[in-house]
Each structure stands twice: as structure tokens, then as C-alpha cells.
Structure 1
């Protein structure tokens, strides 16, 4: 089998897996952004009519931001489901719960019961956190080392694609005027995501770590690498990685992430990388509002939000193409810097618009560039870099710790950004996003190792060094 075929097989399998996880995730992250008026009418009708602006704001903030509360809870289920039960079982349970959540959200709109929408989003976000972390583990543990970066980008590629889909479907020209069909559109793929798990094997690294029979482990390697895979070499590298640590990744060992120097350094690096991802949620959720406030017409603002998501997707595809050629550092640091700069520029242009109206068009372009710079590497690399620097026995615990800290940052920023925004305007972005990101980038540029094409046990040894 040719080298290209060896690469295409795992990429195709893992892309299919990434799509099943991120279709719902991307859709749920953006479908509220464009049909804002329709959801306002829905809440007004569901709550008896003539609701006050304050009541609407309370319900709307809860519907939007409850996602992060559920996601935070789901992060702590990661070691329980994905470590103790395995990546495959964890993903099967998560996808089943997400299907139920999708049905609840559809019923909430159909029956005009807003509390069901909140319950559905809590369940969806809780188990999306489990599914997302299981997906990252699959993308890190299943493919050959030389395409691990490209494979890991598949999560961000599919997520960005379905962010664009959710935003586009929410426009008036598509399903924005029919919330019942909008919320129902994701149910079939959620059902498919459950079915596909019955045909997907566990990762070979987890099987080897958990003491599975050799034939089962070899079947997993052949499934992801192809029938001509050099199984002895692949398993030898995995055995070296597993042998690096002797303590299991259980909650009783959480203090090891602080006590052991190389794990502490990895945790801090992971949190700093993820800090650069915090701002995106604010702009995905509220870009339409921000643009309308600088005198962009409502219809144009909605399509500008869609253009943001398209830019995000296209640039993620480009980043996935180059990540295994250029390396993580050469992509992450420059594009994280550009991403932070675009936030500062949007702040500048939105203020200049008050003086000359034409600056609003520069603000629109800056938002599209913001999403593109994020897609080129900020998002994807930040989410998987902790897995590339952590031994397998600590991997789910490291994920949970770094993701939970990041989620706390996201929850705080998303709940306070609008009050800050209405108080001091776009200057709030400098305080909430730019300053923390600059500090994080200083630490990353000094301490982040290059992980491209290296076995994880080799990277861990450098961090120990």
C-alpha cells in the first residue's frame, strides 16, 4: 500500500468520527446567533406575551450561557467515562445522551416550553464535553505519528464547518423563520453518531494500557493504520510511552499534576494555550449584536456572522494542511498573536466608527480575520496540545484539569462581557481578552516544546529535562 493510502485511511475514518461529534457541537454553538428576533418572539409567546426586556434578557442569557455550565460538569466526567470505561464506551454513552438532548430541544420549541430548551442544552453540553474529549483522545491515539497533527485538526475543521452551518441555517432565508425545523435538523446526525460507535474499535493505546488481549489490540491497529501496518513497531512505541509513568490517572492522583514538575509545566502550558480560545465564544455568540451596534444593518450583520464562520472553517482546513509540515510552535504562536491583535483592532475600529461611519466596514473585515486567524491554528492546536505532552496514564486527567480551568475563564467572560460591553463599550475586550492572551503568549513562546513528528514519551522526557 502506498504512503498516501496509509495516510488517507486513518484520516477518512477519523474525519467521519469528528463529524459525528462536532456536527451537534458546532450547530449548538451558533444556531442562536442569527435568529435572535425569532427566539425573542418564541420566548414572548411561550411566557404569556408582553414579557419585559429584563425578563427576556434573563431568559436569553440563561439559554445561551447555560451551555458552559453543562460543559464544565461534563469535563469532570471525562476520567470516569473515557478512562475507566474506555474512549469508545465513553463516546457511545455521550452520543446517546446528546441524541436525547437534541430531541428535548426540538420539543421545547414545538411545545413552547422554554425550560425544556434549557434542560436540553445542559444535557447536550455536559455530554458534548465528554464526547469532545473522547474525540481528541481518538485523534491523538489512533493515527500514525507523522499525521497526528493533521488528524487532530479534523476536530476543529468539522467544528468550524458546523458553526458555519448553524449560523447559515439560522438566517431568515433558510430555517431562521421556522425554529421547529431548525432545532429538528440536527436530530438525524445525532442518531447516526450513536449507530457508528457500534462499528468503531477502541484505540490500541487504551487497549494496551488496560491489558486487553493481543489480538484485540492488533485489530485496532489494523483498523486505523491499515492491514499492512507494522504492528510490532507501533506497539513497541506505545509500550515505551505507557512504561514512562507508574501511577494511574485517577482522581486520587490529581495532586500529581501540581506536585510533579513536568506535569505541572504541561498543565500551565495547556491552560495558557487555551486562554487564546476564550474570546471566540463571545464573538460567535454576539457578533450580530456587536455589528448592529456600530450601525451595520441587521441582515448584513447576520451574513457577516456567517462569513466569520466560513472564514473559520476555510482557515482551519489550511492549518490542518500545514501543521505536520511546519510544526505546532510555528503555527500556534504567530496566529495566536494575530488573533489577539485582531481583537484590539476591532476595538479600535468600533471606536473610530463613532467619529466616521465608514470605519464600521473595517470592523466587519477584522471580525472575519479574527475568525480566520483562530482557525489557522489557535483553536485546534490549543485543544490537542495537552495530549501531545502528557503520558497516556495521565492524559484524561490533564485534559479535564486544563479544560475545566479554560471553561471557568469562558463562563466568567461570557457572563460579564455584555454588562461590561454596555458599560464601557468595546474597551472591555482589551481587559477581558487581549491582556490575558498577551501574558499567556509570553509564557508559551518561552516554554512550549515542538511536538511535530515526535513520540509522546520523547516530548515528555524533554519537559522533564
Structure 2
């Protein structure tokens, strides 16, 4: 049984909450403060007007969907940024951008400029992607193997906690009617994140494998893992040497290299399939209050249920932190994904059948809570870091950023279309967009996802090889051994 490094756990938790604050907070308060934002959109038009219900639905969907454009773009560029300037400074750059976005949003509300508010969401999402990639890479590469899953849960914990704070503060009884105060609050954690990230050490793996600096890598190991014993430090560095030797037999990690390397390609595709399972969380975060009102519930109850769902999701994430290192990573992910997809299906069916028998609408509330809990306890957190566990370090930054970029490009389309189509054709929209694709992704994971818990990357890559690749490698090793025997003979 390995000891938990509580200092590292606390450091990663504080950085996760402050660095990701804008991402979670600003995507949750529009759900509960939707009435105030409807007023803001009407008042900020060039000529003040009252939008029709349909006009507001499309305009509001577009405003929220801006997030995905920025996040997809930020995810794609963050790979080269992380490899060029390092994981630490990538995180710092992202947190500074998040702080800037909060200031722009504040002035947009004060000046009643909806276009400026949309621009602030673009800056926020671009910065959030850079922060998230930097954070995941930094702590995945700085944590001991037995704590990788636990540490990586902090990113999802931060996302859920900041969702909860955003949902709470957006309620009419708190700051929902004071948009200036609602947005000003977010400046504080972003400022803290900028300050803290500037004083971090670079990832020991990045220093050793990318910069060939064993001295600084040793100092980073002491900073993150509190390794003071020279023998223990040398053992860790020797493991990194083996990984570097493996890297030297591979290419540099471009998109072409990812696609042409069979086990890396499979790891990348499995990471993408896992992230696609999380796509349904965005309509829930953005529109759950409105969806519940469509099912016949009052605004007050819908608002309370949406916020309560975020609270239960937070508790689920805390529970997930205790079980992630105790159970199989693969089957924990698949099990919660099945529950999550069934919850979306149950929500859609309850909403449809409630038109014929109104009490069944309460099934929507049950399924909404089940969806949030299954996402937060394992599926969501694992999805954010599984790609970095499936591919070697020279492919890691590019793979991670491409997975997030592609995922948010798809989410952009789905989030933009879900709200207006839900109003037009009804809850069957959720089945088409999330249930059917989710079932396909789960099947892929069942068939091909290897176990990653407590596994070295070389073991994982070996499991990702298909039978043909294994036979080819086996023949090559046999030929090499035969050649050596003949030479000796």
C-alpha cells in the first residue's frame, strides 16, 4: 500500500479550482440566471428591443456555443505551446488569459454590450483549454504512478465545484439579479491561479525527457513528490531513462505520426471516444432549468433541482476520488458510462411520456440527478486524463490537445442545435445526439480499451497493439535472436 502525498494532492486541488474556475463558473451561472441574461440581451441590442422566444433561443445558443469555438482552438494550439514553453508556463499563460476574460466580461455587463460579452467567452474558453491541458500534463507527469488517478480527479472536482458555485451564485436569491457582482466574483480565483502557477516547478518528465536536464528533473521530483533520498531519486530517473530509450525508437509526435503508429492511433481514438461520452454534460449544464420547465415544473423548482444536481455531482466526485485507485479504471469508466447514457435515455422517455401522464415527469428529475452523479463519480474525471495515460510522452501533448479540440468541435455543433431543436422536435433530440453515439463509444471501449491503473506506459502500449502488430514484433525479435546465435556460431 503506497502512502498518499497529501501536500501534492492539496497543491493540485488548489491549482485545479483556481485555474479552472472560469471554465466551470461561467458555464453554470447562465443556466440559473437565464432570466437576467434575457433582459441583458434585450437591453444591449443597438436599439433596445424585446426578442421573440425563438429569436432568444437561437441567440442564446449561439452566445453559449462560442465557448466551444475557443476551447477547440485553444486545445489544438496548446500542444505546441506545452512542448515549446513547458507545462508550467502553459498553465500560467492560460490562467492569465482567464483573468483577462473576467475583466472583459465585467465591462461588457457594465456597458451593456452583448458582443463584448460574447468575446469575453471566446477569450475565456481559449484560455480554459490552455489551462486545462497545462494542468493535466503537469500533474500527470509530476505524480507518482499510484497517485495519477487520484491527482487527475482534481481537474474534474474543480470543474464540478465551480459549476456548483456558478449555479448557486446565479440563482435569483443570491447574485442572479446582479450580473456585475456575479461576474466580478470570478476575478479573485483567477488572480490567485496566476500568482500560484508562477511559482511552480516544471514537470520532472518534461525536464528529463524533453530538456535532458537530470539536475532540474531531480529538483522537480523533490518539489512534487518530496523525494529526498538519492537512491529513490535515481530509481525514478532510471525509469525515465527507459522511457526515453523507448521514445528514441518512435517519431516526434505529429498528427501524421499519431495516425501512422497503430498503438498510438488506437490510444488516441479511444481517448476521443471516451471524451465524446461527456458531450451530454453541456446541455445539462446550460439548459437543464429550461428542460425541466418544458416538462411542466415551475421555474423555482427547476432552478433548485439544477443547483441540487450540481451539489450531488460534487459529492459524487469526492466519492470518486476514493474509489478511482481501488477499482479497475476500464470497468469503472464503462460502468458509469452505461448508467450515464441510460439516464439521458430515461430523461427523454420521461419527458415524452409526461405529456400523457404528468406524474412521470418526476422521472426527469431522477434521471437528471443520476446523469450528474454517474458523470462525476468516474466517467467525467477519467475522460479528461485517459488520453494522457494511453499514449507515450512524445505523442501526449498533441494527442491530448487534439482529443479535446475535436471533442469541443463536436460539442459546439451539439450544444448549438440541442436547445432550439429540443423546443421544435422535443426530447427525442437527446436520443439522436447523445444516446445512440454514446452506445457506439461504449462498445468501442469494451472491445479495445486496456487497463491503465498502476500500469507503466510501455505495458499499456503493448496492450494497445493488435494481434497482427504483436506477431510482427515477435517475428522481429525471433529473427534478431536467430541472427545473434548465427553470429556467435
Same fold (TM over 0.5): yes
Q: How does 1:9-20 map to 2 (within 5 A)?
A: 9-20=7-18
Q: For the structure 1 residues 3 and 270, does the alpha-carbon distance in structure 2 shift closer, same or farther, using more than 3 Å as the test?
A: closer
Q: Is the 8 A contact 2:160 2:314 kept in 1?
A: yes
Q: How far is 1:214 from its partner?
A: 2.6
| 2:177 aligned residue | 177
Q: For the structure 1 residues 193 and 123, does the alpha-carbon distance in structure 2 shift closer, same or farther, using more than 3 Å as the test?
A: same
Q: Is the 8 A contact 2:201 2:220 kept in 1?
A: yes
State the TM-score, normalized to the length of structure 1: 0.96
Q: How far is 1:41 from its partner?
A: 1.0
| 2:280 aligned residue | 279
Mapped to 2, the partners of 1:422 and 1:38 lie a distance apart of: 21
| 2:247 aligned residue | 245
| 2:223 aligned residue | 223
Q: How does 1:25-64 map to 2 (within 5 A)?
A: 25-47=23-45, 48-53=47-52, 54-64=54-64
CA distances 1:111-170 after superposition (whole Å, capped 9, x unpaired) = 111111111110110111011011111221111101111111111011101101100100
Q: How does 1:108-257 map to 2 (within 5 A)?
A: 108-228=108-228, 230-246=232-248, 247=250, 249=252, 253-257=254-258
Q: How far is 1:3 from its partner?
A: 5.4
Mapped to 2, the partners of 1:397 and 1:244 lie a distance apart of: 18
CA distances 1:278-325 after superposition (whole Å, capped 9, x unpaired) = 111011100011000011100110111111111221111111211111
Q: Is the 8 A contact 1:83 1:396 kept in 2?
A: yes
Q: Is the 8 A contact 1:18 1:135 kept in 2?
A: yes
Mapped to 2, the partners of 1:363 and 1:234 lie a distance apart of: 50
Mapped to 1, the partners of 2:346 and 2:397 lie a distance apart of: 37
Q: Is the 8 A contact 2:57 2:420 kept in 1?
A: no
> Residue 403 of structure 2: SS of its match in structure 1?
helix
Mean CA deviation greater in 26-35 or 54-63: 54-63
Instruction: Tell me whether 1:383 sits opposite 2:349 in the alignment.
Output: no
> Residue 454 of structure 1: SS of its match in structure 2?
coil
CA distances 1:376-423 after superposition (whole Å, capped 9, x unpaired) = 111111111110011101101111222222112211211221232123
Q: How does 1:402-417 map to 2 (within 5 A)?
A: 402-417=403-418
Q: Is the 8 A contact 2:8 2:224 kept in 1?
A: yes
Mapped to 2, the partners of 1:265 and 1:57 lie a distance apart of: 39
Mapped to 1, the partners of 2:433 and 2:321 lie a distance apart of: 29
Answer with 1 or 2: which has the greater Rg: 2
> Residue 296 of structure 1: SS of its match in structure 2?
coil
CA distances 1:400-447 after superposition (whole Å, capped 9, x unpaired) = 222222112211211221232123210111111111111111110011
Q: How far is 1:274 from its partner?
A: 1.1
| 2:5 aligned residue | 7
CA distances 1:313-349 after superposition (whole Å, capped 9, x unpaired) = 1111111211111021121011100000001111111
| 1:369 aligned residue | 370
Mapped to 1, the partners of 2:315 and 2:166 lie a distance apart of: 16
**Aligned with 1:22 (options 20, 23, 26):** 20
Q: Is the 8 A contact 1:91 1:197 kept in 2?
A: yes
Q: What runs of 5+ residues in structure 1 fail to find an aligned partner?
A: none
Q: How far is 1:15 from its partner?
A: 1.1
Mean CA deviation greater in 217-226 or 418-427: 418-427
Q: Is the 8 A contact 2:329 2:452 kept in 1?
A: yes
Mapped to 1, the partners of 2:308 and 2:173 lie a distance apart of: 15
**How many residues of Structure 1 are paired with residues of Structure 2 in the alignment?**
461
> Residue 326 of structure 1: SS of its match in structure 2?
coil
> Residue 458 of structure 2: SS of its match in structure 1?
helix
Mapped to 2, the partners of 1:241 and 1:13 lie a distance apart of: 26
Q: How far is 1:360 from its partner?
A: 1.6
Q: Is the 8 A contact 2:68 2:412 kept in 1?
A: yes
Mapped to 2, the partners of 1:45 and 1:408 lie a distance apart of: 31
Q: For the structure 1 residues 257 and 214, does the alpha-carbon distance in structure 2 shift closer, same or farther, using more than 3 Å as the test?
A: closer
> Residue 367 of structure 2: SS of its match in structure 1?
helix
Mean CA deviation greater in 48-57 or 258-267: 48-57
Mapped to 1, the partners of 2:252 and 2:75 lie a distance apart of: 15
Mapped to 1, the partners of 2:314 and 2:364 lie a distance apart of: 20
State the TM-score, normalized to the length of structure 2: 0.91
Q: Is the 8 A contact 1:257 1:264 kept in 2?
A: yes
Q: How far is 1:354 from its partner?
A: 0.9
> Residue 247 of structure 2: SS of its match in structure 1?
coil
Q: Is the 8 A contact 2:337 2:375 kept in 1?
A: yes
> Residue 313 of structure 2: SS of its match in structure 1?
helix
> Residue 32 of structure 1: SS of its match in structure 2?
helix
Q: Is the 8 A contact 2:74 2:405 kept in 1?
A: no
Q: How far is 1:96 from its partner?
A: 0.9
CA distances 1:238-286 after superposition (whole Å, capped 9, x unpaired) = 2222322235645xx2111111111111111111111210111011100
Mean CA deviation greater in 207-216 or 175-184: 207-216
Mean CA deviation greater in 234-243 or 396-405: 234-243
